[in-house]
Amino acid sequence: MNKDFFEFLKNSKQEIFIEAEAKKDKMSKFIESYNNNYSETINFDTNGICLLGDVDKWGVELRIYFNNINNIPDYWKNRMYKNKKYRSDEFNYRLDDNELVRYLFNKGYRIGYN
């Protein structure tokens, strides 16, 4: 399934945005791991890092924002939804899927604009 979405992105040639959202303790661990795995130097101020306050979140949530859904695989079409909040002035659709985003990281996508 992840490969299908990756191919969809390659073929659609669209700009996407990847965001990580978490409480500070979980985000610290994510940033350290991300920087080590992808030779990056992101921090709490990086565009795409969203720190949460005192909310009921157990871990890091990874999201993809995008606009073009032409030829999106059915599996992902059924999992995406209309983006109504964060970055809704830029991106019409959103997917929340940690496994998919990690797959995209391994294919060269990064936190922020791609």
- Please state the domain count of the chain: 1
pLDDT reported for residue 89? 79
pLDDT digits (tens, 9 = 90+) for 10-59: 999 999 999 999 999 999 999 999 999 999 999 999 999 999 877 766 78
pLDDT digits (tens, 9 = 90+) for 55-100: 766 789 999 999 999 999 999 999 998 988 777 779 999 999 999 9
pLDDT reported for residue 67? 96
Radius of gyration of the chain (CA): 14
Domain enclosing residue 109, as ranges: 2-113
pLDDT reported for residue 56? 67
State both tokens at 113: 């604009």
**Cα separation, 66 vs 64, whole angstroms:** 7
